[in-house]
């Protein structure tokens, strides 16, 4: 009987946290809002960190995520539209996260104070194309925070950035276009007899073709002129017929 009553309480709690919208089912918890399109975790628009007396500035940030953003980086598959932000201590950030791809991407900030952001994390996630908006307030500590997509291999393939408060305390490694990678990508060539032969043949052809054209420039010009005359004569005969 006791177990049955507890189950009813849990069921009522779960039901109260679910709401049906025109787009389907959504769920709201203390620190998370989620539906089939995406998820927002640990948004904070008004609670000040313990070391902040007031909000120092309010910044609107729009971040695109996807394959198109990675085109400017050699060897990368995914990226954010911006790789670094530098804000004042106690700044409020209004973030608009836009997923340009048809696959899932995340915008996550790590290392935030756990008493305000559970597990030290701010999290936006979209299951395909769309956008989400949420806010957070950073502490006053001079610090660099990791921003990335936590899906397997997305960060390694370029979806990584850094958020600096008051200039930050360090530059994180492997930020595309900003910092050196921990381990640079290496694309070794398997130099077999076949690959060496193909390379040598390519070099010889690359040298021989321009040389042949230069040596035979006069003959090629005469041949082109002859073909032009023949073609003109043929066109005249066809027109007269």
The per-residue pLDDT for range 45-62, each reduced to its tens digit, is 999 999 999 999 999 999
| CATH number assigned to the domain comprising residue 116 | 2.60.40.420
pLDDT in tens, 9-22: 444 444 334 444 34
* pTM beyond cutoff 0.95: no
Name the residue among 130, 128, 131, 109 with its Cα closest to residue 120. 109
Residue 187 lies in a domain: no
Strand, helix or coil for residue 55: coil
pLDDT in tens, 74-92: 889 999 999 999 999 999 9
Q: Would you tell me the crossing angle of helices 217-240 and 193-215 to the nearest 10 degrees?
A: 70
Q: Are residues 50 and 105 in the same domain?
A: yes
Instruction: List the single range of 39-53, 82-96, 218-232 with lowest mean pLDDT.
Output: 218-232
Query: The domain containing residue 157 runs over which residues?
Result: 26-165
pLDDT in tens, 179-202: 998 877 776 777 888 888 888 888
CA 134 to chain centre: 19
Residue 183, CA distances (Å) to 24, 31, 43, 157, 174 in order: 44, 36, 34, 13, 8
């Amino acid at each position: 009987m006791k177990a049955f009553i507890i189950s009813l309480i849990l069921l009522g709690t779960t039901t109260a946290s679910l709401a049906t919208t025109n787009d389907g089912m959504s769920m709201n918890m203390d620190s998370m809002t989620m539906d089939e399109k995406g998820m927002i975790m640990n948004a904070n628009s008004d609670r000040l960190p313990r070391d902040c007396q007031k909000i120092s500035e309010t910044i609107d940030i729009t971040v695109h995520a996807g394959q198109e953003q990675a085109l400017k980086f050699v060897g990368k598959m995914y990226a954010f539209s911006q790789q670094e932000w530098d804000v004042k201590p106690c700044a409020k950030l209004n973030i608009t996260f836009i997923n340009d791809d048809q696959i899932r991407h995340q915008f996550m900030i790590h290392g935030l104070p756990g008493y305000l952001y559970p597990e030290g994390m701010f999290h936006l996630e979209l299951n395909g194309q769309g956008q989400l908006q949420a806010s957070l307030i950073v502490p006053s500590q001079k610090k660099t925070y990791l921003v990335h997509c936590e899906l397997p291999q997305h960060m390694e393939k370029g979806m990584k950035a850094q958020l600096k408060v008051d200039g930050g305390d360090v530059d994180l490694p492997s930020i595309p276009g900003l910092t050196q990678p921990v381990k640079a990508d290496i694309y070794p060539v398997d130099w077999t007899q076949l690959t060496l032969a193909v390379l040598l043949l390519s070099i010889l052809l690359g040298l021989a073709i321009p040389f042949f054209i230069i040596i035979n420039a006069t003959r090629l010009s005469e041949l082109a002129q002859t073909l032009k005359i023949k073609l003109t004569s043929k066109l005249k005969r066809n027109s007269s017929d």
